[in-house]
Each structure stands twice: as C-alpha cells, then as structure tokens.
Amino acid sequence: MPKFSANLGFLWTELSLPDAIRAAHKVGFEAVECHWPYDTDPSLIKSALDETGLPMLGLNTVRGKEGENGLSALPGRETEARAAIDQAIAYATEIGAQNIHVMAGFAQGHEAEATFKANLTYACQQAAPHGITILIEPLNHYDAPGYFLSTSAQAKTIIEAVGQPNLKLMFDCYHLQIMEGDITRRLTDLMPLIGHIQIASVPDRAEPDHGELGHTHLFAHLDALGYAAPIGAEYKPKTTTDAGLGWLPRRSR
C-alpha cells in the first residue's frame, strides 16, 4: 500500500499550517509538504511535526514580486534568487524539511538556462551540509504559461549538467501528463533522478480518483519500481478537503 504526503498548499487551507499538519495526521497521511510557509513561526511548525511524528517533505522558494513564479532562472536577479534560496534553507533547517523546490520563474533562452544552472549549483552547495535535497519541477503551459522549466527532458538535461548529487526531479504526474503523457515509461526511465512524486487528477487537478490518469495502475507501477517514499497529494479539493478523502487508504492510528 502506498504512502501519501498531504500538500498543505492546497489541503486544509482554511486552517493554520500547524493545525493543517494535525488534520493530515488525523486522517492517515504519513507525511506533509507545503508551498510557502514563511509567514508562520517555524517553531510552531516544528512543534506540530514533533507532536504528530510526521516528516515535512518539502517547501518552495518564494515566488518573488507579484505576478512572478520564482527567481532562479531570471538573468540579473541572482542576488534575490540566492537570498530566496538562503531563506528556504534556513527555514527548512529549522523545521527539518527534507527538500526544497527551487522555483525557476518566467524566462526563456540560453541566458536564463545558464542563470538557472548557476543558481542551482549554489543551492545544492549551500543545502548539502544540512542534508537537504534541491528539487526542480516542470510546470505545464496551461497553469504556468511562460515558466522556464516545462518538460522532463529539459529537467534531465539541467540536472545532469549541474552534476550535484543532491539535485533531483520533482515528478508531478499532473503537470507531466498534460505536457508529455506516457507517465509509466517516464517514471521508469527517470526514476534514478526523481526526488519526489506528486499526484492529482487530470485535467481538473482535483482528488486523484478520476480523470486521465489511472492512479491504481500508477501506484502499482511505483511499487514495482521500488518507490517507497510518500507520494505528494497536491490537488485542489472539489469541495472541502475532508469531504474528498474517499480516495485515501485509511490506516489506524
């Protein structure tokens, strides 16, 4: 039976982040992850994690100014990008988060690629002493038009070029099904580079119990590949989080 991580960027958003962690534990999630927790005192997050015993799998670097979606591929914004990386590492260290998603931002071209690679090298080198993995995530062109990183092939090329052992791929099945499809083979081929996997239904990004992706097949395939880490439930509930949890395997606490 697969394990699941509640993405608290989308789930229980009506609660404070510490209370959302407690809610995730109560219904049987084995881990949690978030987007931008920086407005919450990290000691409160750490207390909720210690109380529930749930690991915090990851968080994102900040988006930047209003309308931006990350900074690390933006030429001329290296100082801000690295400050965002430092902020994420400091926060992740305080709460014991395992991964940081370094957001690329809206950019295109060779200069943007060179900037992204340089900032990722910096991120990996700064994160390594803390045992933190840096993740990059392709986003689809419908939800994030103009985002620098949009395909798994592009991500693979960047990861291999940067050459840092703690740089991995965030394989979001929702985004990659929209952009590329053939999820089963892509998971098989890219597994050595994958640091985290996320799911949602396609095309509506709701609970993972309908749509284009066969989640029962997906979970069985991941099990066959030996993937034992919690799978990130990063979806937007159709109504409330609690009302949509019929898909989640229940375990006694």
Catalytic positions, written as ranges:
137, 234
The DSSP bridge partners found for residue 32 are: 6, 56
